[in-house]
Copies of this chain bind each other. A is one copy, B any other.
């Protein structure tokens, strides 16, 4: 994803776009939240589909995509700002067809999928007609060691035979296809063992074992995380994305932009949480005429949140700009750094917002508890914080002459 030639012009329209998205969210999406927080995601699908149609009609669909694919051709730094706005609602990204894991899958298929794969799977994904999932994490292997996995794709003539157990395959429930990370070359060096293969979810041998209950909810449809069994699933060799053994490299490539998306979504959540905190602070009275906002502790939480969010936002935007300008490799330190930095800010801000809301804060009457539960994972998914800290430090220390070691 590189900055289009029209970037300067695009930039000019960014503020207007952000305003339009904000207005749409306020008018059309936020009113849906109470139900969203109290009911199954699946039950909301028809109304969400209607909203998606509106977004498409208003020309704001999938803004991160190049214009050639029907998107707005935003640079990464520009889309980052969009993502922060969308992140203020739990379904913001979904309504604009910017939701993970589809956004990453679109990028992957766009950059590395064969024309046939693009026609068969990318096109309907871009159109929002189908959803997809990314099947990588395994219950028996640590997510923090991405080159160690049990799922195998064994070549048999023109087919791969895929066998293995995955979990945390987000949004598998209702997805049309999965991109499965599987070992194709078990004897290659660790980083060259796996490939990424498109597996239709209705292929024989694919079994959605369960939507894993996470923090009290099994969830449904897009809002779910499945355990999936692949049992001798046969797919054509042409379903592979990129070259054989390139699976890990493609996953890495996906990381830079994906990290920006996540981090800016978290910034959006922070902004909403801070907004809720302030609204509560001025409206809740501790005694007649004494709003909560007069409490010094509440004031300090607001101030600390404001400054932490601002610093974090600038850190992510700067990283996005450097990826736009110099590529992900040049920004690798920051791509690691923003992961754990912003995840930490997110957790602190949500925690403060809940405390300011008191008993209301732990109910599902606000989105705070939703995020508190579902974004506890922010410090775990996309590489646990600890993995990124170690990785950043080792790169820094290498420049000081320390050899890498396990």
- Please give the residue numbers on chain A whose beta carbons come within 8 Å of chain B beta carbons, in ascending order: 37-38, 137, 139, 142-145, 148, 167-168, 212-217, 278-279, 281-282, 284-288, 290-300, 302-304, 306-308, 310-312, 314-315, 318, 333-334, 336-338, 340-341, 354-355, 358-365, 369-370, 372-373, 376-377, 379-381, 384-386, 388-390, 392-394, 396-397, 400-402, 405-406
Contact = CB atoms under 8 A, between A and B. Distances in A.
Contacts of A215: 215-216, 362, 364, 369, 372-373
Given A296-B296, A314-B314, A369-B216, A402 B281 contact: yes
26 contacts: A38-B213, A142-B292, A144-B358, A167-B359, A213-B364, A214-B362, A215-B215, A216-B369, A281-B402, A282-B401, A282-B402, A287-B406, A290-B406, A291-B402, A293-B400, A296-B296, A297-B300, A299-B389, A300-B389, A302-B392, A303-B388, A307-B315, A310-B337, A361-B380, A372-B376, A373-B373
A323 to B, nearest CB: 15
B137 A393 contact: no
How many copies of the chain does the oligomer comprise? 4
Given A216-B216, A282-B401, A334-B310, A389 B315 contact: no
Nearest to A333: B306
- Give the secondary structure class of A's interface: helix
A358 B143 contact: yes
A246 to B, nearest CB: 22
Contacts of A142: 284-287, 292, 358
A217 B178 CA distance: 30
A334 to B, nearest CB: 7
Contacts of A285: 142
Given A215-B364, A314-B311, A380-B355, A300 B393 contact: yes
B397 A380 contact: no
Closest 3 CB pairs of A and B: A299-B393, A307-B337, A296-B296
A377 B37 CA distance: 19
